[in-house]
Amino acid sequence: MLTPRCRLAGIVSVSLLLLASVASAQIGKRFPSEKKVVTDPVTGVPLTFLTSTPHGDSKIYQTHHQWTADGKWLIFRSNRAGREAMAVNDETGVMVQVSEGGYTGMLCLADNSMSLYFLRVPMDRPPPPMTGAEPAVSGVPPAAEAPAGPAGARPPGAGGGRFGRPTGPAQIIKVDLGKLFADSEAGKMQPADAYQKVCGTIPLEWGAGGDMALDCTENYAYFRVGKEEAAKHLAPDAKLEANFGPRNMGAGPTGLGKMNLKTGEVGYIVSVPFQIGHVQTNPWMPGEIVFCWETGGKAPQRTWTVMADGTGLRPLFPEASFDWITHEAVITKDEVAIAILAHRKITVAGKPSNGDGAGEQASWGPSGTAEHPTGLAIVNLRTREMRIIGQVPEGNPGRSDWHVNGSPDGRWGVFDDFLYRLWLVDRHSGETIMLADLGHMTTAADHIHPTFNAASNKIEVQSAMLSAGGDKRSLNIVVVPVPDSWLKRTYSDKIQ
């Protein structure tokens, strides 16, 4: 049994280690390049691994921009400096720590300035180290659930969550990346306050946390609001939704709030009777928000849109009970990509197979089979028309798409499947090719989450292909090129 003196010595030792770790996690700290090009073993496409060691790396969620406004740096999450945001130069591979003091939830890059925004919520216990893998929300893996991680964590709300309880109000932080990169390269770093600015504070009772999105004007940020505050703004006759599906998620209410990033003033947008998950904005249309009903899988009505003044609340794609919709992403000024899954086998007409595996439980309802139209779909925000533009080619195993996206120029669609393969779609011709088989060597790999750059010629993914020790879970940041032969294609008519 430890004596009080031994216990005290242990506490002091741990405290000193934590202080040392914090002291070494300084904004602007540079890390050597790990960049390496690996030829995909199946397709022959060159895969540029911008990180290649096991430090729990993961990309920003696919609903948000990944590259800085100058197109030179990718921002990502990592354990290299504790739970701080990192940047890697797309050309040189040099890495720089771009936050100090931690962040909560989503990292938001500005479109027209070298600025990074994020929430910071003080908690009563430190979050666990990142694994690089993400929880299996918004869809399901083909076998067991992925281990929990920060990116898809359930909104803590005012009552706390897996990472503890808030001990103070949330703040929105702005990082001046241009100044930070210049000083880091010159070796003349200043204190963190020279680069990080508090834009404003969100009242503690609002329960802000998790997802946040930046308006394209950079004047406002939109964030999720917890149940207690959301209930105050809900219509008295509103019918609250219960949890849906076997993961016991989806119950409401929750809401959306906003902050004026110039003045710090906060305002309320809307409450809904269900649990809000991912929140994103339209990078071309001020005040346009897209968000989802999060259940951890199939939702009764997954996709939603609303304006920042609270008007225009409606389902984005009205879905039937047999539609399993997930991973919506705004891709052009007028369009949102959605995945319509077909990961469940048909055993009886109108009913999917049911079992104990993730996504197979009967409580998900009669959804997720190929008995009805499935694939990468594009929904027009203005006309409300929907078109399915791509699917895993017939005859391939793991035929369902999973995470979807599209290029800002409107030429390409992209998706991964349940075998961790990356597919590219020519929206003009409908041709679909496999770009990479990222599950070829990593059958336990995690979500790839493809996202295009602004120039529409590169796709960022995350992959465990180089995972050390056989764990198949440690992810790295990877850039996959759109083939030159595709980039040189010309068409007589232009896709709008």
- Which of 165-169, 218-222, 255-259, 297-301 is the least confident region? 165-169
The band of 398, judged by pLDDT with boundaries at 50, 70 and 90, is low
Question: Is 480:436 a contact under the CB 8 Å cutoff?
Answer: yes
- Residue 181, H or E segment: helix 177-186
The band of 356, judged by pLDDT with boundaries at 50, 70 and 90, is low
Please give the mean pLDDT across all residues of the chain: 86
Say whether pLDDT at 494 is over 90.
Answer: no
The band of 56, judged by pLDDT with boundaries at 50, 70 and 90, is confident
Instruction: Read off the pLDDT of each residue in 368-372 and give the average, rounded to a whole number.
Output: 91
The band of 283, judged by pLDDT with boundaries at 50, 70 and 90, is very high
Q: Which residues contact 283 (CB under 8 A, 6 or more apart)?
A: 65, 111, 216, 330, 408
What local confidence, expressed as pLDDT, does residue 154 receive?
A: 33
- Which of 27-36, 233-242, 444-453 is the least confident region? 444-453
Say whether pLDDT at 333 is over 90.
Answer: yes
Question: Is 226:208 a contact under the CB 8 Å cutoff?
Answer: yes
Instruction: Read off the pLDDT of each residue in 436-447 and give the average, rounded to a whole number.
Output: 71
Say whether pLDDT at 55 is over 80.
Answer: yes
Question: Is 277:256 a contact under the CB 8 Å cutoff?
Answer: no
Q: For domain 25-487, give the CATH number.
A: 2.130.10.10
Cα gap 134→446, rounded to integer Å: 7
Question: Is 191:152 a contact under the CB 8 Å cutoff?
Answer: no
Instruction: Read off the pLDDT of each residue in 431-458 and give the average, rounded to a whole number.
Output: 86
Q: Going by DSSP bridges, is the β-strand pair 196-202/170-176 parallel, antiparallel, or unpaired?
A: antiparallel
From 200, 272, 287, select the one nearest 235 (Cα to Cα).
272
- Residue 178, H or E segment: helix 177-186
- Which of 14-28, 343-357, 397-411 is the least confident region? 14-28
Question: Beta-carbon neighbour count of residue 387 at 10 Å?
Answer: 12
Domain ranges of the chain: 25-487
CA atoms within 13 A on the CB side of 118: 27
Cα gap 410→389, rounded to integer Å: 12
Say whether pLDDT at 40 is over 90.
Answer: yes
Cα gap 337→331, rounded to integer Å: 7
Instruction: Read off the pLDDT of each residue in 53-59 and give the average, rounded to a whole number.
Output: 92
What local confidence, expressed as pLDDT, does residue 24 receive?
A: 55
Question: Is 206:226 a contact under the CB 8 Å cutoff?
Answer: yes
- Which of 23-27, 73-77, 297-301 is the least confident region? 23-27
Instruction: Read off the pLDDT of each residue in 83-107 and give the average, rounded to a whole number.
Output: 96
Specify the pTM: 0.89
DSSP string, 401-465: EEEEEE-TTSSEEEEEETT-EEEEEETTT--EEEEEETTSS-TT------EE-TTSSEEEEEE-T
| Position with higher pLDDT, 203 vs 348 | 203
| Position with higher pLDDT, 141 vs 464 | 464
Say whether pLDDT at 123 is over 50.
Answer: yes
Cα gap 247→298, rounded to integer Å: 10
Cα 348–351–357 angle (5° rounding)?
105
Q: Which residues contact 185 (CB under 8 A, 6 or more apart)?
A: none
- Which of 24-33, 96-105, 298-307 is the least confident region? 24-33
What local confidence, expressed as pLDDT, does residue 363 receive?
A: 87
What local confidence, expressed as pLDDT, does residue 165 receive?
A: 78
DSSP string, 23-88: HH--TT-EE----EEEE-TTT--EEEES--S-S--EEPPTTS--B-TTSSEEEEEESBTBSEEEEE
Token pair listed for 442: 């990593």
pLDDT digits (tens, 9 = 90+) for 180-215: 999 999 999 999 999 999 999 999 999 998 899 999
pLDDT digits (tens, 9 = 90+) for 130-188: 655 444 434 554 443 332 333 333 333 333 345 577 788 999 999 999 999 999 999 99
Say whether pLDDT at 5 is over 50.
Answer: no
Question: Torsion angle of alpha carbons 105, 88, 28, 18, nearest 10°?
Answer: 50
Distance of CA 385 to the CA centre of its chain: 25
What local confidence, expressed as pLDDT, does residue 338 receive?
A: 98
Q: What is the DSSP letter of 496?
A: -
Token pair listed for 264: 């710090």
| Position with higher pLDDT, 16 vs 92 | 92
